[in-house]
Structure 1
Amino acid sequence: MPDHININHPDSRARWREKTLEIVQLRAKITMLENCLLDIEGDLEAIFTRIERGDEVELHMQSGAVFVITGKERT
């Protein structure tokens, strides 16, 4: 049978639950941001690869405008 002198009020455990929830939320945000970063890195790599090959790249803006970038070198 447990017998110890330092006994905390049960409400103090709610703080630990809140902290645990906060940690879980932060981990989820970090995972989401890491996935977004990987997607963005992939897009940038594709842009530079196509330009290096001399291919065109289309950048589709939120406004609906499309910008075409060509891979022509300056002379």
Structure 2
Amino acid sequence: MPDHININHPDNRAKYRYEMLEIVQLRARVQTLENFLLNAESDLEAIFTRIERGDEVELHMQSGAVFVVTGKKRK
């Protein structure tokens, strides 16, 4: 059976738990945003690489429309 002398009011622990939960949620949100940013950066790099090589790039829109971008230089 536990037997200790220093006992804190339960409200103190609830506040601490709430703060820790908030920190965990913020970390998860930041990680999700960092992953999204890395994926977007990778997509942009692929688009520019293909265009620079003169290859076509297909951009698929949410509406289902597909736009083809070519790497032809202007005259």
On whether the aligned pair clears a TM of 0.5, the verdict is yes
Correspondence for 1:42: 42
**TM-score, with normalisation over the residues of structure 1?**
0.87
What displacement does 1:12 show? Answer: 2.0
SS at match of 1:67: strand
What secondary structure, in the 3-state scheme, does the structure 2 residue paired with 1:11 have? helix
1:69 matches 2:73 = no
Aligned CA RMSD, in angstroms, stands at 1.7
| Mapped partners of 2:18, 2:61: distance in 1 | 40
Runs of 4+, deviation exceeding 3 Å? none
Structure 2 segments unaligned to the other structure (5+ residues)? none
Q: Please, which runs of 5 or more residues in structure 1 have no aligned partner?
A: none
**1:1-75 to 2 correspondence within 5 Å?**
8-75=8-75
Distance 2:28 2:10 in 1: 28
Aligned partners of 2:9, 2:24: CA distance in 1, in Å? 24
TM-score by length of 2: 0.87
> May I ask how many residue pairs the two structures share in their alignment?
73
